[in-house]
Structures are given as C-alpha cells and as structure tokens.
Amino acid sequence: MFDDFFIRALVAGIGVAFVTGPLGCFVIWRRLSYFGDTLAHSALLGVTLAFTMEFNIALSVFIISSLIALILIQLQKKTNLPGDALLGLLAHSSLAVGLVVIGFLTFIRFDIMGLLFGDILAVSVDDLLIIWIGGAFILLTLKFIWKPLFASTVNYELAEAEGLNPDRAKAIFTILMAAIIAISIKMVGLLLITGMLIIPAAMARNLSSSPQSMVIYSIIGGLLSVIIGLFTSLEFNTSSGPSIITAALLLFILSLFKIKQSIKLKN
C-alpha cells in the first residue's frame, strides 16, 4: 500500500511526537523556546562534524548541542549581556559556522534543504532505532526528574527549600533538550524542531486545566500533526518538516475556538 520509506517516516515521526509532547510543555512553561532554537541552530555544526569525521549524525548533533548549552551557561555567568542576546549570538554564529564549514566540504554532496526542513526519504532503519531507543530513554529520564523540574518551574525557591535539588533537574533537562533535537533533526529539520516542541504544546494549553492533561493533549497534537503532515508531504511532495508544522498550526487554530468558548463562559 505504502512504500517502505513512508512507513519508516511515519514510525519515526510517531516516536518523535511522543517525546516532543512532554518536553514541549516544559519548553513553554519554562519559556525556553528561543533556547530550543539556539540548540537546534547549532545542530548544523553537529551535522557537518558528523560528515567530516564519518560519525553518527544524531550522536554528533547531541554532543555539539550539549556543548553549546554549556557555553551558554558559562557566558551567562561571565558576561552582563541579557539572556536573549547571548542566545541570538550562539544561534546565529553556530549556524553561520556550520554553513561555512559545509562550503569547504565540496567533496560531499549536501542536501541543505533536507537538513534545514527535514526529509522523509532520509529516514533509515538505524534512525528508527535511534529515535525509539533514544526517545524512550529521554521519556524515562523526564519521568525521573519530573517532580523537581515541575516544582522548580512553578517556584524555584519552594523546590529548593523543600529539598528537591532543582539545579540538577534543570541541568538534566538541558541535556534532554539536546537529545530530542539530535533524534528529531532528520524528520523535522533543524529550523523547525522548536516548532514541533512548541506548537502542539501551545495547542494543548488551550484545551487543558492541569499539567498532566496538557502533556497528554500535547502528545496527541504532535501525533496528529505528524500523521497529517506526512500524508500531505507524500501527496504533494512537500518537505516533511514544514508539512508537519503546518498541520500543527491548523490544530492550534482549531484549539482557539475552545478557548474562546471558555472565556465567554467566564464572563
């Protein structure tokens, strides 16, 4: 019925959606969307590194993104620049350096569009394994740090005072962010990964009244976006990333009707 590559893309996308759902909620709650962007931009550097050293792409993206996160934390401590300026500095310079390095690698044929916006043809069986095993690992870790992370998201001092060690949870969460970018880059492309994190979670916020329900709606939204997006991508031969994100946007717009109703009820 469907070609193998499409089934692979579907399985990969579903795996990604399960992980981006809960992580995306934290990205919204902790206001980390620009931080996610920065890590994603730096992923290009990771990809080029993978090609030059003949290294696994996901692993090298993960390493470079974690490195950028570390550099960010150091810069925050050592300079007086505001956080968003530092994020912009790192995002654009790492993207630029990545593109310059690609320019030097004339011996490799690069599918830049695929890197930036995702390519369902590119998903291999190995990638599926990375997504599902890596994804399961991310989710398990998130479950493990949920309490301190969520408590410190609500109020840092409460979490610290009552002995939950929020700093450790935050550090682990940063690593998880780098990991999700690493495993989803082929699917969604590095320019749109943050969209996959934020848009389903934003839709979920419109529908939910508790943190747990927001996570569940966010996963459902992500799954629907992937499925609708990939079928569109197959049908109209569009890039997979933009198709998925457009589907997510449509779901978000639909969710606005629900929020309008509840506001009306309140008044």
Binding site for another protein (CB under 8 A): 28-29, 147, 150-151, 153-155, 157-164, 205, 208-214
Instruction: Compute the distance between CA of residue 121 and CA of residue 41 in angstroms, rounded to an integer.
Output: 22
* DSSP structural state of residue 162: T
Neighbours of 236 (CB within 10 A): 8
In the complex, what is the shortest distance from the CB of residue 262 to another protein, in angstroms, rounded to a whole number? 11
In the complex, what is the shortest distance from the CB of residue 242 to another protein, in angstroms, rounded to a whole number? 27
* DSSP structural state of residue 203: H
Q: 57-78 and 125-154 helices cross at what angle (nearest 10)?
A: 30
Instruction: Compute the distance between CA of residue 62 and CA of residue 83 in angstroms, rounded to an integer.
Output: 22
Closer Cβ to another protein, 105 or 158, answer by number: 158
Closer Cβ to another protein, 114 or 211, answer by number: 211
Closer Cβ to another protein, 166 or 242, answer by number: 166
In the complex, what is the shortest distance from the CB of residue 224 to another protein, in angstroms, rounded to a whole number? 20
Closer Cβ to another protein, 33 or 93, answer by number: 33
In the complex, what is the shortest distance from the CB of residue 256 to another protein, in angstroms, rounded to a whole number? 15
In the complex, what is the shortest distance from the CB of residue 74 to another protein, in angstroms, rounded to a whole number? 18
The answer to whether the beta carbons of residues 202 and 33 sit under 8 Å apart is: no
In the complex, what is the shortest distance from the CB of residue 267 to another protein, in angstroms, rounded to a whole number? 13
Closer Cβ to another protein, 106 or 209, answer by number: 209
Can you tell me which residue has the tokens 């309140």? 266
* DSSP structural state of residue 59: H
The answer to whether the beta carbons of residues 58 and 193 sit under 8 Å apart is: no
CB-hemisphere CA count at 13 Å for 170? Answer: 18
Closer Cβ to another protein, 117 or 150, answer by number: 150
The answer to whether the beta carbons of residues 216 and 200 sit under 8 Å apart is: no
